Amino acid sequence: MITSFIEKLPQFFLYSLLGFLFIFLQSSFLPGFLPLYLVPNLLFILIIYISFKHKSHFGAFLCFMIGIYLDLSKGIWLGPWAGAFTISFLLIFIFSQKFYFTNFILILGMAFFAVIISNIAYALLTFNLPRARIFNLASEPSWNSMFIVLFLEALITALLTPFVLKVFSKFLGNYIQSNAR
Amino acid sequence: MNYQESNTVEPKRIIFFCTCLFILSAVLSAYSSRNPEFAKVGSNFVSSFLFPLQKFNSKSFVSIRGVWGKYIALVNVKEENSTLKEKINHLTTLNSKFEELRHENTRLKDILNIVNEHSFQGFTANVIAFGPTKWIQEITIDKGEESGVKVGMTVIEGNGLVGLVVHTNTYSSQILLISDPNSGVDAFIQSNRVRGIVEGIGAYMTRWSYVPNAEKVSVGERVISSGLDGVFPKGLFLGVVQSVQSQEEGMLFQEVRVEPSVDFKSLESVFVVTGKGNK
């Protein structure tokens, strides 16, 4: 397994670079043009692509590492997004064993649920962490408003996923592998 | 090659591997939340990687916005005379630059007013990024440890309180907005001094908690920081009361929504407060 990882180091660096690029796009570039609520989570689409394309330990490790980059870019906690992306990978991996993801609607639905599940995983991972390092007057988020924001994010990301996956397929290779059973 | 490899991998092994990674991330989360320095080392590296891009992006937005808003929309008008078109484009770009400068001037004037009013010391900084996910409401500014930014410093804007520095890198810093659920500000109503705590509830909104049911709170009243939390200076404008929902009898507190004075979604310049007193 380790030899295989070493062989894939160039790919690892390529995906890492893409990860950083997407963090920059969704945190700095796109908010200049779009209302913050409408900024898609491009990193998720990359995770979805990796989950389809690399159904292996390498793919899981990549998703974990991209989550680590996202955590580091925020500098508050290290780990929650890594865990959330790993769960997304696992979910897509399990479903792709059963279905062929060639259908537009199926990909869209998959992306939508992957974003939702990933956010739930994030919420669970951070639920019990000390919420306030500086403030001692912390509260819980308004779940109603958070739900709307996350629903919008999932919807926009899902709608974009089939198109971005096509772009990825063109430059990085087709993501569909026929190992569904 | 990938195709063959992926088919030979036993699904159970991958599920086991993912479970291990998930447990590792949970352990890392717990550890880093108790040892912030642990996350900071890698964060410095990532921010130094992203900072040049973010800085370039924030600078180029002045002209990009002008082009996007006023040029692209005109591209399809075929009848336009080409000379006039060039002139229009030139003037449009100039105009958008002036417009941006006018906005910047207004923003900085507002900041200056609030700074003079409170005799704050500090410096202005540009917002170069927003939180990449919706869970943590934060912004990144283009000033860091090199400029003297320290964790715990208050950040304001012309319209009032923005948040607190929670993380610093060499050239940039992260500000947790007061609309983040991790945030809380001891505050009172300017007119009658009724006290409570302004808490972030996510989605760029705040509520005012722990306001006793017996106290009279009206829509439209101004809420300002009390300074009693020992974190934020006194007298900073937080927002106006948007709605008041008195609780049933027997409940201690009423539900008050506060509309933040700062539009967090369109922040561009902020002021980092380093101290108080005459310069």
How far apart CA A143 and CA B195 sit, in angstroms, is 25
Report residue B200 as tokens.
Answer: 């972030």
The nearest CA of chain A is from the CA of B251 a distance in Å of 19
Res A86 pLDDT > 90: yes
* pLDDT band at residue A180 under the 50/70/90 scheme: very low
- Specify the number of domains making up chain B: 1
**Chain B residue at shortest CA distance from A4:** B5
User: Which of chain A's residues have a Cβ under 8 Å away from the Cβ of B1?
Assistant: none
The answer to which of A111-120, B203-212, B233-242 has the lowest mean pLDDT is B203-212
Q: Is residue B255 part of a domain?
A: no
Q: Class for domain A8-25+35-126+140-172, per CATH?
A: mainly alpha
Q: Are B57 and A89 in contact (CB < 8 Å)?
A: no
Q: Give phi and psi for B274, each to the nearest 5.
A: -100, -20
Q: Is residue B225 part of a domain?
A: no
Q: Give phi and psi for B230, each to the nearest 5.
A: 75, 5
Q: Give phi and psi for B247, each to the nearest 5.
A: -85, 165
Q: Are A129 and B17 in contact (CB < 8 Å)?
A: no
What residue segments make up the domains of chain A, in order of their start?
8-25+35-126+140-172
B10 in Cβ contact with A1 (< 8 Å): no
The answer to which of A66-70, A101-105, B126-130 has the lowest mean pLDDT is A101-105
**Chain A residue at shortest CA distance from B22:** A83
How far apart CA A179 and CA A92 sit, in angstroms, is 13
The nearest CA of chain A is from the CA of B118 a distance in Å of 22
The nearest CA of chain B is from the CA of A105 a distance in Å of 24
How far apart CA A44 and CA B26 sit, in angstroms, is 20
Q: Is residue B6 part of a domain?
A: yes
Bridge partners (DSSP) listed for residue B161: B156
Q: Residue B76: its pLDDT value, please?
A: 55
Q: Are B184 and A142 in contact (CB < 8 Å)?
A: no
Q: Are A32 and B231 in contact (CB < 8 Å)?
A: no
A110 in Cβ contact with A136 (< 8 Å): no
A26 in Cβ contact with B132 (< 8 Å): yes
Interface test with B, best of A3, A4, A27, A47 (most B CBs within 10 A): A27
Q: Are A43 and B33 in contact (CB < 8 Å)?
A: no
The overall average pLDDT reported for chain B is 79
Report residue B227 as tokens.
Answer: 């300074």
Res A4 pLDDT > 60: yes
Residue identified by tokens 């049933």 is B248
- Looking at mean pLDDT, say which of A5-14, A16-25, B27-36 comes out highest: A16-25
Q: Is residue B262 part of a domain?
A: no
Q: Are A79 and B134 in contact (CB < 8 Å)?
A: no
Helix (H) or strand (E) segment spanning residue B198: strand B195-200
pLDDT, tens digit, 9 for 90 and up, residues B67-122: 655 555 555 555 666 777 777 777 877 777 777 777 777 777 777 777 777 778 88
Q: Residue B219: its pLDDT value, please?
A: 87
Q: Is residue B73 part of a domain?
A: no
Report residue A84 as tokens.
Answer: 């959330």
DSSP B73: G
How far apart CA A114 and CA A48 sit, in angstroms, is 8
| CA separation, residue A179 to residues A107, A110, B14 (Å) | 16, 17, 15
Query: Which domain range does residue B29 map to?
Result: 2-34
- Nearest CA-CA partner of B132 in A33, A40, A142, A155: A40
Q: Are B201 and A145 in contact (CB < 8 Å)?
A: yes
